[in-house]
Structure 1
């Protein structure tokens, strides 16, 4: 009997070592693949099984409500006991649905992106947009779950909006990007709801569809603002012309360069009204807001041609197209020349949706990374038992908790404004916090989701896992509804237009929150840091008005970090100073809360010539 040496694969180093058996059994011989090297037979574990016996367990997608301590504690803290029970019951149920059925649908939306058929077999222009069954199912689920309706039924008064935002927070990471048309639908519903009585026909026509729980009646809305010159500069970028008709309607002629949710039932868009002499008014004063139904009574496109689908870095599940409006029938729903003012309510909603998508996307990747750390072994132990790995997850957790609390706080203020009970200070605070929340959480999302992918090693880079899409889809959050710089300038605009009142409201709210902390020994130092940073930033704004344009981004970061610190401290105190809440507040307050002051001292805002020289050295374009 010839001696057979058995080898087992050692995963950590890739080498082989002999097993302890002197001889293999007959069964082992039978299942071994033999080879001869220098007269010695050997068999390897992989030879019979081809791919080996080990398979890595994938991360579990958990119920994102029951698995999120901050989400639960905020709901319990603010929503009154008498109405909280049915809300929490629904959130727990929905959290489970999101982690199972809806999650699988979201992955299917990624696998089956929309397609455009422009011509039929006989050369006729048809412009038919094909979306997957999963995308259509997301539409029905959104209606069934009242993801828009909840905020407008106002069944729970001022808490209806918070309830809706929490449901959207749970839904967004599993939605296959259906959260995007829902954001625009929510914005359209709020805008139409607040239209004066002269536009009651629009409410009768569209509002009931936008807020319906019946999937057969539920409409989504687009938001067609961006043109070839455009981006955020709609004043100089909008070239679409609105030609008045005798019946009160208009015919729109223009090219919409970036229209998301192309399969929506209706849209809101900007255009310039053409005078009887053919003249139009340029700039912001020439823009009016229009309501347009995408399909006519025969279910054909309303004089719209779909020129091409956008080939995007991410959000591939979402149909986004370039559209030619060739006499599309539309109706003006703002005063002539007051279109930009008309979309302000819509922008508030869509920016809040952007922030909740950022925060919930971070929560999803962190939740999965946390679970994976209990399943993945390396160097003989589970990842959760390595202090360095847990420290990385903890740093991510601090970011996610801060972002989540900011989004929830903005939602709470929005709910008060929706129901007409917000104080002047709360309305001012909402005006300032909305762009801050959008710009800062989007930057957090890019960082946290990237770090989260790294927690999965090579698997985080493999498309089949569904993980890379989380990073691709996060990138749009820094761009949609205004880039970081555009939103930073919007913060300055809010300060200027309110004559500084938004900063007064900000200061007073922060100080009222940290005052509670002054009586809590564990957090006194952190409260003092937030207070000092607030005073330093207010002082900088007051003394350096000439530097605010250059400092706008750092100012926005400083205001956001300060406010996040304040709400983390406030939450820790109000929730009984739990160890995790206290630790989160402490760690957040270790940041540079007054970044704009730090960089001012370093001379970063003294001259733009240094930046120009640095960036454009040797540039010959």
Structure 2
């Protein structure tokens, strides 16, 4: 029998014609890239910040800082921020004739940023405004500092130290009278000249030494009395002193009475330079715009501030104020990072739609947004406590709350920032890994505030110290978090669990970080439950107030994610 015919074979498919290669001109046309985030008001775009200003300040305060917000979001300001970091400060030890001068030169963009920061009253201006009767001077300054820090973080260091010096200077009425008006000036007047010839002045600080770090009682710099009352010469080495071109420094040195605080002028009244050697500039992580230095003293003239042996107690007022700026600065870093991330995903498409419409990306951005809003709410509450006024609260409560909430916020907010910025950077993918995006600078800068003015352990232990020595601070914390009692069962339980931790004195030191974390989270939760939109407060309480919170960002379980993302995304 003949074999059947084999089935007919289908004709092979015709290959698609080759796609024409893009021309050189077409290759150079950019598509699917987010436009630069410039030309927006960083104050009004930050709903959490502007609402906090209205809550703790007034509409007048918000209107007053709008100019800072617009300038901080301008293309011009962003360019100056990048230039200040691209061109590092340069130390010149000797002039052409061999004279020791120890001068540090900064790029013009540094001076541009400093001039506007001082001009907007972000240095020591609030202290004089407060004395003149302004009820919201520190809230105004805090919001302005957060907004202006979007431009570039490094120049905030001398601004912060100048702001923080005034409370410490009040230990000596004569020194305070001499220096405070210049520190509070809104005129930026750089250059080394006697203070009597200047229209404005800036302050630095020298506490730490090679062998001591946070343990300033181990300092070996010696202060020797001269024949003039209150005048000493200093002999020693300071391991970290930022902004060595500032006009004055608050430093610690050993006297016969113990560790003592001193005012050290850069220039002497007769026009000569004080005997201060800038040994080197530090090659550090983070911003490169600011000059961090080592200083050597050998017969350097200084004036005692406060009593001998009371140096730590004197300078602690400056430390408290700079800790506030650590919280403000970290909250600002978070906000700039989440702004860049949310802006990017709102304009970048992948796999057929905008990244902002992808459920998992919404989860990440919403989580970052809630973290940023919680940091902002706590930072601005602290600024209101410095003002001593918060709607209907008494000043005694404000002072006690400031004492306990400062180390709590410094510990928690500054610890969260590196994780937050790293996740925001990842939202931009490879674009976030190049310097032009500004994300690498934010990432390098993110750990700074957790180190500066006391590391995490120092602040956690300071919480224990305050609780043990000042019982009114616990009352203030209980009162503040209690204002939200009954509004959210998860917050109520977290408060109760934290109070139980407070009763475990047997393991208090080893558990100090856990306690500080829980106390800070309860404060943030209380503020958000009372003042934030329900969708923000709900996500915060659901994700942060369990028995522990150590998960990655973007692991939220429900909530109105889109509403939170829309709230945080800038508009131009």
TM norm. shorter chain > 0.5: yes
**Number of the residue aligned with 2:65:** 91
Structure 1 residues without counterparts, runs of 5 or longer? 1-15, 21-42, 274-279, 518-526, 573-580, 599-621
Alignment CA distance shift 1:244-1:530 (3 Å): same
**Number of the residue aligned with 2:366:** 394
Q: Does 1:554 align with 2:514?
A: yes
- Structure of higher RCO (CA pairs closer than 8 Å, 6+ residues apart): 2
- Pairing partner for 1:145 from 120, 128, 135: 120
**Number of the residue aligned with 1:582:** 534
Give the superposition deviation at 1:18: 4.8
Give the superposition deviation at 1:121: 4.5
Give the superposition deviation at 1:207: 0.8
For the Cα contact (< 8 Å) 2:543–2:549, is it kept in 1? Answer: no
**Number of the residue aligned with 1:367:** 339
Secondary structure of 2:509's aligned partner = helix
> How many angstroms apart in 1 are the aligned matches of 2:511 and 2:41?
41
> How many angstroms apart in 2 are the aligned matches of 1:168 and 1:151?
15
> How many angstroms apart in 1 are the aligned matches of 2:423 and 2:289?
23
Give the superposition deviation at 1:176: 4.5
Q: Does 1:528 align with 2:528?
A: no
CA deviation vs aligned residue, 1:318-370 (integer Å, no higher than 9, x gap): 10111101111000011110011111211111000000001011101111111
- Pairing partner for 1:445 from 417, 425, 434: 417
Q: Which has the larger radius of gyration?
A: 1
Give the superposition deviation at 1:511: 1.5
> How many angstroms apart in 2 are the aligned matches of 1:17 and 1:74?
60
**Number of the residue aligned with 1:260:** 242
Q: Does 1:202 align with 2:175?
A: yes
> How many angstroms apart in 2 are the aligned matches of 1:112 and 1:239?
35
> How many angstroms apart in 2 are the aligned matches of 1:308 and 1:98?
32
- Pairing partner for 2:164 from 169, 177, 187: 187
Give the superposition deviation at 1:130: 1.1
**Number of the residue aligned with 1:294:** 266
The two structures, once aligned, show a CA RMSD in angstroms of 2.3
> How many angstroms apart in 1 are the aligned matches of 2:203 and 2:325?
14
For the Cα contact (< 8 Å) 1:557–1:595, is it kept in 2? Answer: no
- TM-score normalised to structure 1 length: 0.79
- Pairing partner for 1:251 from 233, 237, 240: 233
- Pairing partner for 1:482 from 434, 454, 467: 454
> How many angstroms apart in 1 are the aligned matches of 2:423 and 2:451?
20
Give the superposition deviation at 1:99: 1.1
- Pairing partner for 1:320 from 292, 299, 316: 292
What does 1:18-29 align with in structure 2 at a 5 Å threshold?
Answer: 18=17
Q: Does 1:407 align with 2:382?
A: no
Alignment CA distance shift 1:382-1:299 (3 Å): farther
For the Cα contact (< 8 Å) 2:86–2:288, is it kept in 1? Answer: no
What does 1:93-132 align with in structure 2 at a 5 Å threshold?
Answer: 93-100=67-74, 101-121=76-96, 123-132=98-107
**Number of the residue aligned with 1:457:** 429
Give the superposition deviation at 1:263: 1.6
Secondary structure of 2:245's aligned partner = coil
Q: Does 1:568 align with 2:543?
A: no
Alignment CA distance shift 1:176-1:344 (3 Å): closer
Give the superposition deviation at 1:491: 0.4
- TM-score normalised to structure 2 length: 0.86
What does 1:604-619 align with in structure 2 at a 5 Å threshold?
Answer: none
- Pairing partner for 1:133 from 101, 108, 118: 108
Q: Does 1:170 align with 2:147?
A: yes
For the Cα contact (< 8 Å) 1:485–1:553, is it kept in 2? Answer: yes
CA deviation vs aligned residue, 1:378-416 (integer Å, no higher than 9, x gap): 223221121211211000001001000000111111111
Q: Does 1:504 align with 2:475?
A: yes
CA deviation vs aligned residue, 1:511-560 (integer Å, no higher than 9, x gap): 12224x2xxxxxxxxx2222222222222322x21200000000000101
What does 1:195-234 align with in structure 2 at a 5 Å threshold?
Answer: 195=171, 199-216=172-189, 217-234=199-216
Give the superposition deviation at 1:502: 1.5
- Pairing partner for 2:405 from 415, 430, 433: 433
For the Cα contact (< 8 Å) 1:554–1:596, is it kept in 2? Answer: no
> How many angstroms apart in 2 are the aligned matches of 1:71 and 1:183?
19
